Structure 1
Amino acid sequence: MTARIMDDAGRVLAAPQSYADEAQLHTALAHLRAHAPVSWVDVEGYRPFWAITRHADVMDIERQNDLFTNDPRPILVVADLDEKLRADREAGIGLSTLIHMDDPHHRDMRKIGADWFRPKAMRALKSRCDELAKVYVDQMVQRGPELDFSQEIAVNYPLYVILSLLGLPESDFPRMLKLTQELFGGDDTELQRGESSDAMIAVLLDFFAYFSALTASRRERPTEDLTSAIANATIDGQPLSDMDTASYYVIVASAGHDTTSAGIAGGLLELVRHPGELQRLKNDPGLMGTAVEEMIRCTTPVKEFMRTAHADTEVRGVPIAKGESVLLSYVSANRDEEVFSDPMRFDVGRDPNKHLSFGYGVHFCLGAALARMEMHSFFSELIPRINSIELAGEPELSATTFVGGIKHLPIRYSLT
């Protein structure tokens, strides 16, 4: 039997605090790409997995969605929480979102929301994104000359966009924000509800309670919003279960804004750190499309997804046994020297830019077009109005192994 390839650098992928230390993380990932691109990671508290750090290997695994399945381990969480969540799903009472599913069920469920994120729908939403972008840049003017951009602007702008799409009342927006931060901040001492697995279960139960009531309301009185589309959807003539509808809302309402807010906050930080690129973008607004893609590449809000081998196979010549899991490191893939020239450089004109921040294949992010449009609208409004901008303190990143980014970004600025 071939000995497993193990490299201590792989331990960073199971250390939430590593994602709050960019220098440490990228040093370790560069080492793995060069010396152990398929590395066995066995860390206390987690079930072992193979770390996949090369762009080409991540894409190959994503393509083979019949061989490498999302079920039963779609993301990296501590072993005891993983067991509880899996048991709940098997009992039909646990979170089961698009990221937990495989085809054909995944394909059928994805179709329910797909029309709301197609180009025609995005064109209809464009004016709303532009309008909200102006609202929030105007707020920056009013609150200046200093603020925490992440907490005061970046988390709220995409929150209003996605929850408006769902049709939720504005009075519930703060509650959704708090629940989302607790959901994705379970490893961060500032954001988490509590340190135990039970605290995360409690967050999910709060989500389910809210959306179960919403489902009942929309089934009784349908409206013209995405919430009604989900509540009244059918598959093979049968309505979705309460758990399926609640799970659908959770992934749209939470990932639909938290990832975008991470991209916006991280994108602004890159522009502040690279004033030459900011000036380049001010001089040539036509670069906004490539600039947004570069922000998304550099921030990589979704750090990883996992897949489980459905049969014995191999990756880059390394045997992977049936039932073993692989962690797809999008952070690493997006800095792969084989794909990106000078990958640690922020370049608003980078083209081509084959980043994997939205995944690849059948699980490509449903809301990718919306995220791109929101960022394009926001920075198109902000950048022409910047007279000066600089850090007013040290940025702070969230501790996570799944979704996250800049949680505090103190800036000092002058806007027109």
Structure 2
Amino acid sequence: MAVATAPNGAPSGRRSDMSFGAHSEWKSPDLSDPLVYTEGDAEALWAAQREREPVFWTDRAAAEGFWSVLSHPPANDVLRDSETFVSSRGMRLDSPPVPTADAAGSVLIVSDPPRHGSLRRIVSSAFTPRTVRRLEATIRTTAVSIVENAVAAGEFDAVEMAARLPVSVICDMLGVPPQDWESLLRLSITAFGSGGDREVEIEANSEILLYFEHLVKLRRKDPGDDVVSAFVHAEVDGVPFSDDKIILNCNALFSAGTETTRHASVGGLLAFIDFPGQWARLRENPDLMPTAVQEILRYSSPILHVMRTAVADTRIGDREISAGDRVAVWLPAVNRDETVFDDPLVFDVGRDPNRHLALSAGPHFCLGSSLAITELGVLFEELLKRADHAEHAGTPRRMPSNFVWGFETAPVRLARRRAE
């Protein structure tokens, strides 16, 4: 049986594999390997590992080792304990150390309280009643257009279809002029779903950063009722934000606002295809939409992991965690914990309670949660109105990623609903 080593190379007592049965050995998986999510059955792997060792250490030859958390109670504890488990040292595995250090304390996702609260209030301050009304109008108008086009096409790629709604909403929120939404849509699809072509992704992301640089300069001269204007005129601890920090925050909000809802939309639609009785159930009981949206989030769990770094010696369950250790909470696995969710592999639009962690928990609970919930609710309302049913038009293909549990492609066919 292998003995894992601590980050400094000394034996730690952490086991990287476990024995089970009389003649076999269980080797704990490296969940940071993207192939785990494109080959084999990730759900079965999570369940088997959680049964044997729900909190376990992974050594990696070419990268820093980390702890994985696969069960719900300790995951919830880690995400809520921002004093012991910090985000300022990176919120995902293998984040580049220099850019992460530069962004720490200035970019929302890599900040800790109390500074995190100050940054969060700046973004929240942009949500005036007028802005909320505008965003709600954008959501409904865009959703109707998306669904009408999808039904008219008959067959389409759900991944591309689902990108349009969150991009329009986050662009509106950031203050991007409507005439630029389409170009940012194309860039977002390339930057966050180019099929693993890293050079193409980097080029598209660079163009997004350049666009936000232009937008920040524009809003310094001509402020509006939007998040970029809020950052431009805000101060934290008496210090105004530099353009570089605003651009990084814009990019983080843009990627978070597009990816989570996009892949939740696709995952939700595929879930309705695989569980067709739930489509009929929701149509007959539209009051179930709020619980259906929460179930879409739980079942799709589009973000694979969030990372924290321990800043003090502590424990997670029966494991001893050392200061400096990285801890990855694997959200889809946690949201399939059999001790918390009955029949977790079943998609159930009436599931209640539903204590999923798809939107994280604690100080870093998703800032755009209300928008994401509204987007998903409106999108599936319009789908139910206009489509009789959905079915696969090809085989969905997962993204080669250890961060986004999403799809490269998902061919879908919609049948138009006949007038009643």
Q: Under a length normalisation based on structure 2, what TM-score does the superposition of the two structures give?
A: 0.88
Q: Equivalents in 2 of 1:337, 1:57: separation in Å?
A: 14
What corresponds to 2:38 in structure 1? 20
Change (3 A) 1:10 1:101: farther
What corresponds to 2:141 in structure 1? 131
2:104 paired with 1:87: no
Q: Equivalents in 2 of 1:395, 1:222: separation in Å?
A: 43
What corresponds to 1:264 in structure 2? 265
What corresponds to 2:242 in structure 1? 241
What corresponds to 1:176 in structure 2? 184
Deviations 1:163-198 (A, max 9, x none): 12222134433443354345545xx7x243339xxx
Q: Equivalents in 2 of 1:127, 1:312: separation in Å?
A: 49
Q: Equivalents in 2 of 1:128, 1:94: separation in Å?
A: 33
What corresponds to 2:326 in structure 1? 325
Q: Per-residue deviation at 1:33?
A: 1.2
Deviations 1:340-364 (A, max 9, x none): 0011110010000000000000110
What corresponds to 1:403 in structure 2? 404
Q: Per-residue deviation at 1:206?
A: 3.7
Q: Equivalents in 2 of 1:381, 1:9: separation in Å?
A: 46
2:253 paired with 1:252: yes
Structure 2, unpaired ranges of 5+:
1-10, 18-25
What corresponds to 2:124 in structure 1? 114
Q: Equivalents in 1 of 2:228, 2:361: separation in Å?
A: 26
Q: Per-residue deviation at 1:286?
A: 0.9
Q: Per-residue deviation at 1:319?
A: 0.8
What corresponds to 1:11 in structure 2? 29
Q: Is the 8 A contact 1:117 1:370 kept in 2?
A: no
Deviations 1:50-88 (A, max 9, x none): 1111110011111211111112132012xxxx4xx3223
What corresponds to 1:46 in structure 2? 63
| Alignment counterpart, residue 58 of structure 1, candidates 58, 63, 75 | 75
Q: Equivalents in 2 of 1:384, 1:220: separation in Å?
A: 44
What corresponds to 1:165 in structure 2? 173
Change (3 A) 1:119 1:57: farther
Change (3 A) 1:93 1:317: closer
Aligned ranges for residues 64-83 of structure 1 at < 5 Å?
A: 64-77=81-94, 82=95
Q: Per-residue deviation at 1:204?
A: 5.1
Q: Per-residue deviation at 1:5?
A: 2.6
| Root mean square deviation, CA, Å | 2.4
Q: Equivalents in 1 of 2:252, 2:12: separation in Å?
A: 40
Structure 1, unpaired ranges of 5+:
none
| Matched residue type, 1:68 | F
| Matched residue type, 1:177 | L
Q: Secondary structure at the match of 2:91?
A: coil
Change (3 A) 1:93 1:310: closer
Q: Per-residue deviation at 1:140?
A: 1.6
Change (3 A) 1:45 1:360: same
Change (3 A) 1:93 1:130: closer
Q: Equivalents in 2 of 1:118, 1:20: separation in Å?
A: 42
